[in-house]
Amino acid sequence: MKGVRRFGSILCGLLVWQIIAAKINDTSLIVSPWVVVAKGYEMLFQTAELYPHLYASSWIFFYGFLLAIILGVPLGFIMALSPLVRDYVNPWMTMLYTTPRIAFAPVILLWFGISGGSKVAIVFLGCIFPILINSYYGMRAVNREFVELARSFRLSRWALFFKILLPASVPFILAGVRLSIGRGLTGVAIAEWFGATEGLGYMIFFAGQTLNIPTLFVGVATFALLGILAFEIIRKIEDYAVPWRKRLQAE
């Protein structure tokens, strides 16, 4: 039933798109979804020109995302466990979190050059905050009774962390990781708009400049599919790692 509804919803959306495209009837503004599908097919299987862009964007996303997890989770934990670190890091975190990342992009490009490094850094900046903040709150929100339980059993601090605090935080961390996907992909697009020669962001930007509407839409759709794919992977991991309760809603 759920599957039918979802499929129906997508079908309706495409239909609306088709109707609007037919009404406007100007292929320099919007093309019908079937033209986009045809163009995507062509770019994938005939000219194969999508692959280098997809490949470049995927790697940038993957590295930035992974780096954000590797650094964000432990930093969130340390902040949760040490009031000292929390007090020092908090103002910076709030500042960096609320500043639009696009404002950082030119500076980062200036510093790191137009290499992959600066793009990864932009993606990293997008991903790290949801992960860090969720790891932090996840660890602080651990049921007090569980902590008392550990104390009552005279568990060591080490055991308290690994047997109680860490597993209790996992659902929060994964929710943060899920949230960071969208922000990471936005980072990819931003990074590739500023001085790049390949990547989906570059492709979209270039197609927009040259009024190549079908290619532009293929780029957007590819971003969407990448996001959905990453989202589904995290969901599978959640199903496996957190079987005992429903997923925390992304908020």
Contact 180, 71 (CB under 8 A): no
Mask for 61-80, x = binds other proteins (CB under 8 A): --------------------
Q: How far is 48 from 44, CA to CA, in rounded Å?
A: 5
By CB under 8 A, is residue 163 in contact with other proteins? yes
Minimal distance in Å, beta carbon 178 to other proteins? 19
Pick the closest to residue 134 from 183, 95, 171, 98 (CA basis). 171
Q: Which is nearer to other proteins, 86 or 247 (CB)?
A: 247
Minimal distance in Å, beta carbon 242 to other proteins? 8
Minimal distance in Å, beta carbon 181 to other proteins? 24
Pick the closest to residue 179 from 90, 89, 72, 103 (CA basis). 72
- Part of the chain binding other proteins (CB under 8 A), chosen from 50-58, 160-168, 183-191, 202-210: 160-168
Q: Which is nearer to other proteins, 34 or 153 (CB)?
A: 153
Q: Which is nearer to other proteins, 140 or 163 (CB)?
A: 163
Pick the closest to residue 188 from 78, 100, 105 (CA basis). 105
The span from the first CA to the last CA of the chain, in angstroms, equals: 26
**Quick one: which H or E segment has residue 23?**
helix 2-24
Minimal distance in Å, beta carbon 103 to other proteins? 41
Minimal distance in Å, beta carbon 7 to other proteins? 31
By CB under 8 A, is residue 6 in contact with other proteins? no
Residue type present at position 78: I
Contact 143, 168 (CB under 8 A): yes
- Vertex 66: Cα angle to 114 and 175 (nearest 5): 125
Residues numbered 135-154 forming contacts with other proteins, rule: CB under 8 A: 143, 145-146, 148-149, 151-154
Q: How far is CA 127 from the centre of its chain?
A: 6
Q: How far is 222 from 217, CA to CA, in rounded Å?
A: 8
Residues numbered 164-203 forming contacts with other proteins, rule: CB under 8 A: 164, 167-168, 170
Give every CB contact of residue 44 below 8 A, 6+ residues apart in sequence.
Answer: 50, 51
Minimal distance in Å, beta carbon 106 to other proteins? 45
> How many residues interact with other proteins (rule CB under 8 A)?
21
Residues numbered 208-247 forming contacts with other proteins, rule: CB under 8 A: 242-245
Residues numbered 85-104 forming contacts with other proteins, rule: CB under 8 A: none
Minimal distance in Å, beta carbon 229 to other proteins? 27
Residues that bind other proteins (CB under 8 A): 143, 145-146, 148-149, 151-156, 159, 163-164, 167-168, 170, 242-245
